[in-house]
A = this chain, B = another copy of it.
Amino acid sequence: MTATLMTGTDLAAEMVAKAADRARALQERTGVQPCLATVLVGDDPASATYVRMKQNRSKKAGIGSRSVVLPAETTTEDLVAELTKLSEDPAVHGILLQHPVPAQIDERAAFEAIDPAKDVDGVTTRSFGAMAFGEPGFRSATPGGIMRLLEAYDVPIAGAHAVVIGRSPILGKPVGMLLLASNATVTYTHSRTTDLPAIVRTADIVVAAVGRANFLQGDWLKPGAVVVDAGYNEGNVGDVDFAAAAEVASLITPVPGGVGPMTIALLLEQAVDAAEAQTA
C-alpha cells in the first residue's frame, strides 16, 4: 500500500467536541438545549442501528434527542404530517428522517415537509439549491463531511478534475455541487455512463457513491488520485476495492472510519448551528 489513509475518526471527534462545547455554551446562556428529532419509519434493523448511533452520539455531545418511530405501513400523508408537526415545534431544532423509507412513501414529499431551517441532514431541495448556488444553508451530511475531510487533508480542489460516481439526491448530486463550488471541474458518472474506467482515469479526485461493494477497481485510477469511498455495503465494505486502489492512490478513505464518522459529526455540528440560529 502506497496511499496515505484519510481517516475521519479523529477529525470527527474534534468536530463533535467543538459542537458539544457550543451546545453547552448555548444551554448556559439561554437555558435551551439543542434538540435533534430523529424519525424512523419501519423496522429495518440497519436503519434502527443508524438512528440509535446518531442518538447516542447526540447525547454524548449534549444534544437532546426526540425519537419518533412510525410503523412500516405509514403513508406519505402521515409522515408528512409528522414532519410538519416537528417543523412547527419550537422545542425541536433539527430533524433527521432516516432513509431509505418504505417503498410506498414518496420520499421526496417527505423530505420537503422538513422546514429548511431545521434540515440539518441537508435533504430538502432548498438545501440542495443553497449548496449548488453557494448560498447559506445546511449541507447534506455525507457530502459536507467529505468536503471537510478533503479540506483537512489539504487536497487541492480548485482546478482539479473530480469524478463523482453515483447521482443520488443526497450523495452524488450534492457532493458534485460542493466540489464545483470549490472550483473543481466536476464529472457526474452513473450506471448509464459509457466507459467509466476511462473517465475515472482522468480524475484527480474520485468520489465513489454507488452503493455496490468493491465496485471501483484499482486499475481504473490515475496514479496519485485521491479516493473518497462514500459507500457502506453489507459486511462493512465500501464501494472501492480498497487493497488494489491503495496501491495507486495518494490518499484514500478507509471503510469504516473514513467518511462515516464525518457524516455524523457534520449532522451534530449542523444541529447545534440550527439551535443557535433558532435561539438567537
A→B interface (CB under 8 Å) = 108, 124-126, 128-130, 132-133, 135, 158-161, 167, 169, 173, 176-177, 180, 183, 185-190, 192-194, 199
Q: In whole angstroms, how far apart are the Cα atoms of A160 and B192 in the complex?
A: 9
Of B108, B124, B190, which one neighbours A183 at CB under 8 angstroms? B190
B185 touches A186 (CB 8 A): no
Most interface-central of A126, A173, A185 (chain B CB within 10 A): A185
Copies of this chain present in the complex amount to 2
Q: In whole angstroms, how far apart are the Cα atoms of A180 and B186 in the complex?
A: 12
Q: Which residue of B lies closest to A174 (CB)?
A: B132
Interface class of chain A by DSSP: mixed
A194 touches B188 (CB 8 A): no
Which 7 residue pairs are nearest across A and B when measured between Cβ atoms? A125-B129, A183-B192, A187-B187, A185-B193, A159-B194, A186-B188, A133-B169
Q: In whole angstroms, how far apart are the Cα atoms of A160 and B189 in the complex?
A: 11
Q: Which residue of B lies closest to A124 (CB)?
A: B129
